[in-house]
């Protein structure tokens, strides 16, 4: 987990008014490998283990294994990177759930200063490939422990969009993109109801921007 990302995290219990304080135990190249994120308001602690932050609110049950998904081909990776539309940093890109399979490939295409962040409600350890600069965190259902407007783009699978639309709108900067991969029949309606503007709507993906 990149040190700069820890400055943008909020307490999953207390919400946007309460940032987290990092106590790093092992840092490698500005990346936290082991440590604790603490809330000064509720005193809850969230551990970082193997570079993955467990940002779920209590009570926390044991993590279920993350999905074992095949890596996308290079053409799919390039297309996803183009839809996200971020070509220079500093910037954070968010990959939700199974969209995390695109994070390693997209990270390799983008310059230094553009950080890929994988978030999911199951274990996201599988999406951190060796040699690829990716921040990873496990989150609770329906809430992203991020300050408003800190993400420059988001990729999310169509089946996961329901329940996350409002949170994506909150954490995205104005004018930023959300890319829905393999959209469902109601994906466009969900986006429009949350205040997104549809730019491209195809069977493989929907591109919308935060108004």
- pLDDT tens figures, 96-149: 999 999 999 999 999 989 999 999 998 787 666 656 779 999 999 999 999 999
- Mean pLDDT in residue range 66-82: 88
> Contacts from 66-70 at CB under 8 Å and sequence distance 24+?
66/120, 66/122, 66/123, 66/124, 66/125, 66/126, 66/127, 67/97, 67/98, 67/122, 67/126, 68/126, 69/98, 69/101, 70/101
Q: What is the pLDDT of residue 131?
A: 60
- Which of 186, 189, 181 lies closest to 207 in space, CA to CA? 181
Q: Which tens digits make up the pLDDT trace of 163-187?
A: 999 999 999 999 999 999 999 999 9
φ/ψ of 103, rounded to 5, equals: -60, -45
Q: What is the pLDDT of residue 135?
A: 94
Q: How far apart are CA 29 and CA 120, in angstroms?
A: 24
| Helix, coil or strand: residue 135 | strand
Q: What is the pLDDT of residue 123?
A: 79
Q: Are strands 196-201 and 114-120 parallel, antiparallel or unpaired?
A: unpaired
Q: Which tens digits make up the pLDDT trace of 9-67?
A: 999 999 989 999 999 999 998 999 999 999 999 999 999 999 999 999 999 888 777 66
Q: Is the pLDDT at 69 greater than 60, yes or no?
A: yes
Q: What is the pLDDT of residue 159?
A: 94
Work out the number of other CB atoms within 10 angstroms of the CB of residue 178. Answer: 28
In percent, the amount of the chain with pLDDT more than 70 equals 96
Q: Pick 119 or 69 by higher pLDDT.
A: 119
φ/ψ of 17, rounded to 5, equals: -80, 0
CATH 3.40.50.150 residue ranges of the chain are 74-210
162: tokens are 């329901």
> For the CA atoms of the chain, what is the radius of gyration?
16
Q: What is the pLDDT of residue 70?
A: 81
| Helix, coil or strand: residue 42 | coil
In words, the CATH class of domain 74-210 is alpha beta
Q: How confident is the model at residue 211 (pLDDT cuts 50, 70, 90)?
A: confident
């Amino acid at each position: 987990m990149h040190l700069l990302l820890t400055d943008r995290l909020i307490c999953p219990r207390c919400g946007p008014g309460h940032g987290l304080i990092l106590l790093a135990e092992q840092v490698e190249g500005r990346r936290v490998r082991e440590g604790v994120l603490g809330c000064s308001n509720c005193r809850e602690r969230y551990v970082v283990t193997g570079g993955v932050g467990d940002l779920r609110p209590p009570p926390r049950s044991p993590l279920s294994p993350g999905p074992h998904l095949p890596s996308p081909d290079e053409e799919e990776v390039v297309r996803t990177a183009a839809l996200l539309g971020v070509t220079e940093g500093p910037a954070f890109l968010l990959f939700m759930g199974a969209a995390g399979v695109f994070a390693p490939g997209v990270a390799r295409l983008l310059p230094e200063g553009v950080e890929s962040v994988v978030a999911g409600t199951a274990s996201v350890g599988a999406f951190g490939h060796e040699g690829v600069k990716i921040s990873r965190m496990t989150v609770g259902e329906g809430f992203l422990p991020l300050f408003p407007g800190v993400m420059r783009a988001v990729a999310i699978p169509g089946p996961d969009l329901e329940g996350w639309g409002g949170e994506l709108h909150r954490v995205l900067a104005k004018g930023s993109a959300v890319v829905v991969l393999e959209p469902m029949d109601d994906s466009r309606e969900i986006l429009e109801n949350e205040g997104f503007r549809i730019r491209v709507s195809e069977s493989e993906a929907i591109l919308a921007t935060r108004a």
